[in-house]
Chain A
Amino acid sequence: MAEPKTKYDRQLRIWGEQGQTALEKSSICLLNCGPTGSETLKNLVLGGVGSITVVDGSKVELGDLGNNFMVDESSVGQSKAKTVCAFLQELNDAVKAKFIEEYPEALIESNPSFFAQFTLVVATQLVEDKMMKLDKICRDANVMLIFARSYGLTGFVRISVKEHAVIESKPDHFLDDLRLNNPWPELKRFAETFDLDTADPIVHKHTPYVIILIKLAEEWARNHGGVLPSTREEKKEFKDLIKAKMIASDEENYKEAMEASFKVFAAQGISPSLQQIINDSCAEVNSLSSDFWVLVAALKEFIANEGGGEAPLEGSIPDMTSSTELYVNLQKKRSTKAEADFLVMEQRVRKILKKIGRDPDSISKATIKTFCRNARKLKVCRYSLMEDEYNSPVQLELQKYLTDEDYSTAVGFYILLRAVDRFAANYNSFPGQFDGEMDEEISRLKTTAVSLLADLGCNGSNLTEDLINEMCRYGAAELHAVAAIIGGIASQEVIKLITRQFVPMSGTFIFSGIDHKSQLLLF
């Protein structure tokens, strides 16, 4: 394996070959290559994205040496985009690196179609009105967009994509798909071949806990009018029932059954969030629908028909104490069912594709299989247009954040980050940026922020003086440590978006270097 993959070994273990291939096919555009932008792109170049295009019209100044690692004294006076691009190219020669010496602000105005060529645009350090314009351009061109900005000890990251569907959401913890209280016929029949009261201690000790629970759940239901334990007392009673079946204290399988007993009480059928996805109007597919929604449409049919209210079975099975033979047998039962479910899903997908006038084979078997395996974990993320959020945020939400002590810093910075742009539009500089009279700057910023809040229909009294002073003290400086953090977070979200794995963050992420409380605000 003396191939380039060795370099990516550690990350392949996170997102797999498919994720890596998606990265390698992507083309990323960076707007402004100050420290925030450079750091974001550095992480992506290391990860092996296909190509990068750095857009920045400025020249390297002495001041840049203080916060941007990718420029040095010898590059002062030269194009910043060129210098940063050269540094990045050196990090990974598999990446195609290009630069364009032009101000992104000008490009947004003069050449909006420029952005359509990219998979994703990372827009850093843009002011509000330019963000809104770019947002519309990218939305229309169906290009993913992520904003990142560092400002003193604060900063934000926000994704803007019309819709992002995730099949492999890889949640931290998820209940195994065991169907303990709703076994399919073959599993039920298999369970019936066991006798929990067997006299053979070896058999007793090696009955997998899944079987124990299926049988006891059934027994319970039989004795309780078909209803499973629901109250605390009943659940305890159910555990005691398991315990009573033990014939020796070292029976790990029974201990496992007790620990897992709560899995019996899990609701049958699909989760509310999956219900919401199959109820989405996009699940009514037509020839323009994406593959994802075609798959969802098939899933919806499956759940209503063959699935009997359940999604396709996941093939895998957790470890458990059991004889190897029984374990393998159980595994076979599951993989047979999973395979059967997959075949039904495949048929439904092909039929739907045909119906909407697409090539029935245009979605691969492998994709359908992955979809089936992850059917219970699907996620759909949608992001509002920047303009909608900025001009008419949900006033109620905003007011709620403003009065919630837990969010006061985050929402304060959110408002102030917007207020400084208004400030800059009015006074041609950011508060505290130059050696002006600090007190005057502070009171101007306060007025600006309060009037911004008033425009949004909110009361400004919740903004603290401290935070306003702090903001003026920042003087629009881009600190390297903060840029590294914001850039790290932005690049992480880019990876989630491009690999279509994990769930990207929703809302606006606000970093606070004061208390590290870094929250997501949802409007």
Chain B
Amino acid sequence: MASEQQLSAIKGAKVLMVGAGGIGCELLKTLALSGFKDVHIIDMDTIEVSNLNRQFLFRQSHVGQSKAKVARDAVLKFRPNISITPYHANVKDPEFNVDFFKQFNVVLNGLDNLDARRHVNRLCLAAGVPLVESGTTGFLGQVTVHIKGRTECYECQPKPAPKTYPVCTITSTPSKFVHCIVWAKDLLFAKLFGDKNQDNDLNVRASDASSSSQQSEDVFERKNEEDIEHYGRRIFDHVFGYNIELALSNEDTWKNRNRPRPIYSKDVIPVEPVSQNGNQAKNLVAGNPSSISAMASLGLKNPQDLWSLKENSAIFLEALKLFFSKREKEIGNLTFDKDDQLAVEFVTAAANIRASSFGIPLHSLFEAKGIAGNIVHAVATTNAIIAGLIVIEAIKVLQNDIKNYRMTYCLEHPSRKMLLMPVEPFEPNKSCYVCSETPLTLEINTHGSKLKDLVDKIVKAKLGMNLPLIMHGSSLLYEVGDDLEEDEVANYAANLEKVLSELPSPVIGGTILTVEDLQQELKCSINVKHREEFDEEKEPDGMVLSGWTQPLAVEKNGKGSTDNGASTSRVSETTSLVMEDDDELQIIPAQIAKKRKLSDISSAASSDASSFRNEAKFKRKAEEADNNNDVVMLDGGSSENSKKKREQ
């Protein structure tokens, strides 16, 4: 029934799909059955067991293989006469440059992380290719359209930045379970099993800074011939006993806080010959490394059970032992992976022991895994709906049917009697630093911060640049790339370690820096303002970037119905519901950034499309609605107004 014109637009189209996960599988199938003939697909991931509940092109036997390639083969088996080109690669690789993007009529995103989404947005802008963006979380989902110059780009509304925690909260004054998880995962696990050369704040700084750091470094090394049981207990006592005692000696810290309790292994699990034989036997049965489990060897079955301090301690020691006895080769190269059972067990146990020390409620492995892995709920149904909507939108884009473009939001609970909520796309944000040329302002201590801090915390983390180049006037301060001369590399490496005001071309208050990513073809200028002091709690980066947006409201410390991860069902609320397919998202503060048009929407009391993007924000709105007495009628009673406004 499709019109001739429609059919030819579809048949002639060359489409790039980024992501072959939950949305990607559905999308590739729906594209194939909607008449598309030439589809390219990029995905760097391999197939995991936990994908199989929704990524229907994959089977158990495919676990470990490239998603892009298996998806292609699976679809070709059923529809042999279309062309599918897979790339088992990272979309940020340099081969996918602007010229690569230019060959496509439309780009369809089914991605799972903010970084890659921003990167693709920039390439689409640079190449002038329309982008259809999507994401799902549980029963929620969305599809948006981004056309350079016509609609807002993916970054016109600043995206909530990944949640970061002040270092001291993690290392010495945790107040929530998530702090303990971050400590266990990013500090302890990384220290024991990861790259030894990485900086690590694991050791507590004693009040006199001179305390022999050399000595404490060695604590984590297993000495030659050291009995594994002994080593485990030594680590346990060091991090949960000695370090806590050391922290307690900083009296100032505890004036306003409850004092933690040091925990020593012998007090929890008396030292006695362990019944190793039984355990050993069980472990030998499990041949493959992914099935090595401390829970299994200790006979704990249900991941949803809450373990006692004693059980957590036993798991901690057992997991450590298993790493050293069964997976010794990997030690030194491990990074935390939410699908690594033993790693999840270790982190859960360590976080719980720490929580218990600080009087924070303990959590089950299932819950801890959700928090540690930033796991987003995912189900086949939503992906199917979203993929269908993407294809309908892509067809409109190919026909240039601008007046019918819609951003569509898929809701969990009907609102205004709608399950799918269409919204006309917004115009580009004139002060967006990505799609317009608006300068940014950076407040920074130019006498204290190094160029490295600027590159890591601003250029990469905030501006999302992949291969940045930094210029001050005509002098190059920093650059990366394969084609650099050796002396250049050395020069830039030296610059990184220099304080801003001491660079060859000094960066001081009033300096205008140009930052550019040649791959993304994105260039922006930054006005530098010197500032001496930063609030360690509220501005943990020690610098503040502003310009195209107000900086995101800083999460209130100590409270946080929004970032505690108190139960797994809460995790989705702490994360930005907007964008996640699954995997790899980071904990993101719940506030959604102020948005240009948000003002008119929220003036209509309860907004639809923008507010449901974030349940936590919806809650906040609820709480603001107090003056109107209508806290209970949140389901968009008056959102009619907001919609009408937008359609004008």
Q: A10-B53, A13-B375 are in contact. Are A488 and B384 (CB under 8 A)?
A: yes
Task: Specify which chain A residues have a CB less than 8 angstroms from the CB of B612 in the assembled complex.
Answer: 172
A172 to B608, CA, bound (A): 13
Q: Which A residues between 441 and 499 are near B, CB-CB below 8 angstroms?
A: 473-475, 477, 479-485, 487-489, 491-492, 495
Q: A10-B582, A517-B418 are in contact. Are A1 and B293 (CB under 8 A)?
A: yes
The residue in A42, A235, A522 that gathers the most chain B C-beta atoms within 10 A of its C-beta is A42
Q: A2-B293, A7-B49 are in contact. Are A252 and B556 (CB under 8 A)?
A: yes
A48 beta carbon closer than 8 Å to chain B: yes
Contact A481 B634 (CB under 8 A): no
A266 to B632, CA, bound (A): 9
A198 beta carbon closer than 8 Å to chain B: no
Task: Please give me the residue from chain B that is nearest to A153 by CB atom.
Answer: B392
Contact B631 A266 (CB under 8 A): yes
A318 beta carbon closer than 8 Å to chain B: yes
Chain B at the A interface: SS class: mixed
A175 to B303, CA, bound (A): 30
When the two chains form the complex, which single residue of A152, A489, A516 contacts B406, counting CB atoms closer than 8 Å? Answer: A516
Q: Which A residues between 35 and 88 are near B, CB-CB below 8 angstroms?
A: 35, 39, 42-43, 46-48, 65-70, 72-73
Contact B30 A481 (CB under 8 A): yes
| Per-residue contact bits, chain A 316-360, to B (CB 8 Å; 1 contact, 0 not) | 001111011100100000000000000000000000000000000
Task: Specify which chain A residues have a CB less than 8 angstroms from the CB of B258 in the assembled complex.
Answer: 323-325
Q: Determine, out of B243-251, B504-512, B561-569, the stretch whose residues face the partner at the interface.
A: B561-569
A438 to B157, CA, bound (A): 47
Contact A173 B618 (CB under 8 A): yes
Q: Determine, out of B184-192, B328-336, B409-417, the stretch whose residues face the partner at the interface.
A: B409-417
Task: Specify which chain A residues have a CB less than 8 angstroms from the CB of B378 in the assembled complex.
Answer: 10-11
How far, in Å, is B48 (CB) from chain A's closest CB?
A: 9
Task: Specify which chain A residues have a CB less than 8 angstroms from the CB of B382 in the assembled complex.
Answer: 488, 492
Task: Please give me the residue from chain B that is nearest to A478 by CB atom.
Answer: B1
Contact A480 B30 (CB under 8 A): yes
Q: A489-B419, A518-B419 are in contact. Are A72 and B388 (CB under 8 A)?
A: no
Query: Interface size of B by Cβ–Cβ distance < 8 Å?
Result: 94
A35 to B360, CA, bound (A): 51
Q: A42-B56, A328-B359, A477-B1 are in contact. Are A7 and B420 (CB under 8 A)?
A: no
| Per-residue contact bits, chain A 287-318, to B (CB 8 Å; 1 contact, 0 not) | 00000000000000000000000000000001
A265 to B558, CA, bound (A): 25
A483 to B389, CA, bound (A): 11
Contact B53 A46 (CB under 8 A): yes
B139 beta carbon closer than 8 Å to chain A: yes
B167 beta carbon closer than 8 Å to chain A: no
Contact A69 B623 (CB under 8 A): no
A109 to B53, CA, bound (A): 36
Task: Specify which chain B residues have a CB less than 8 angstroms from the CB of A328 in the assembled complex.
Answer: 359
A514 beta carbon closer than 8 Å to chain B: yes
The residue in B358, B384, B615 that gathers the most chain A C-beta atoms within 10 A of its C-beta is B384
Q: For this complex, into which size category does the number of interface residues on chain A fall?
A: 35 or more
B256 beta carbon closer than 8 Å to chain A: yes
How far, in Å, is B621 (CB) from chain A's closest CB?
A: 9
Task: Specify which chain B residues have a CB less than 8 angstroms from the CB of A320 in the assembled complex.
Answer: 559
Q: Which A residues between 491 and 523 are near B, CB-CB below 8 angstroms?
A: 491-492, 495, 502-503, 505, 507, 509, 511, 513-522
Task: Specify which chain B residues have a CB less than 8 angstroms from the CB of A153 in the assembled complex.
Answer: 392
Q: Determine, out of A129-137, A140-148, A253-261, A418-426, the stretch whose residues face the partner at the interface.
A: A253-261
The residue in B303, B359, B387, B417 that gathers the most chain A C-beta atoms within 10 A of its C-beta is B417
Contact B375 A91 (CB under 8 A): no
A35 to B26, CA, bound (A): 13
How far, in Å, is A221 (CB) from chain B's closest CB?
A: 18
A163 beta carbon closer than 8 Å to chain B: no
Task: Please give me the residue from chain A that is nearest to B387 by CB atom.
Answer: A484
Task: Specify which chain A residues have a CB less than 8 angstroms from the CB of B24 in the assembled complex.
Answer: none
How far, in Å, is A166 (CB) from chain B's closest CB?
A: 12
B491 beta carbon closer than 8 Å to chain A: no
Task: Specify which chain B residues have a CB less than 8 angstroms from the CB of A325 in the assembled complex.
Answer: 258, 359
How far, in Å, is B411 (CB) from chain A's closest CB?
A: 9
A7 to B54, CA, bound (A): 9
Task: Specify which chain A residues have a CB less than 8 angstroms from the CB of B376 in the assembled complex.
Answer: 10
How far, in Å, is B642 (CB) from chain A's closest CB?
A: 13
Contact A14 B631 (CB under 8 A): no
Q: A484-B30, A488-B385 are in contact. Are A518 and B420 (CB under 8 A)?
A: yes
Contact A14 B304 (CB under 8 A): no
Contact B564 A502 (CB under 8 A): no
The residue in A72, A261, A481, A521 that gathers the most chain B C-beta atoms within 10 A of its C-beta is A481
How far, in Å, is B521 (CB) from chain A's closest CB?
A: 32
Task: Please give me the residue from chain A that is nearest to B406 by CB atom.
Answer: A516
Q: A1-B303, A502-B412 are in contact. Are A46 and B54 (CB under 8 A)?
A: yes
Task: Specify which chain B residues have a CB less than 8 angstroms from the CB of A206 in the assembled complex.
Answer: 256
Task: Please give me the residue from chain A that is nearest to B78 by CB atom.
Answer: A72
B216 beta carbon closer than 8 Å to chain A: no
CB pairs A–B below 8 angstroms (13 shown): A5-B303, A13-B138, A14-B139, A172-B618, A172-B634, A262-B631, A474-B1, A481-B33, A481-B392, A488-B388, A502-B413, A518-B418, A522-B417
Instruction: Kindly list 6 other residue pairs between chains A and B, CB separation below 8 angstroms, not including A46-B380, A482-B388, A517-B422.
Output: A10-B375, A10-B376, A11-B377, A205-B256, A484-B26, A519-B417
Please give me the 4 A-B residue pairs with the lowest Cβ-Cβ distance, nearest first: A262-B626, A488-B384, A488-B385, A485-B388
Chain A residues within CB distance 8 Å of chain B: 1-2, 5-14, 17, 35, 39, 42-43, 46-48, 65-70, 72-73, 90-92, 152-153, 170-173, 175, 202, 205-206, 232, 235-236, 252, 255-256, 259-262, 265-266, 271, 318-321, 323-325, 328, 406, 432, 473-475, 477, 479-485, 487-489, 491-492, 495, 502-503, 505, 507, 509, 511, 513-522
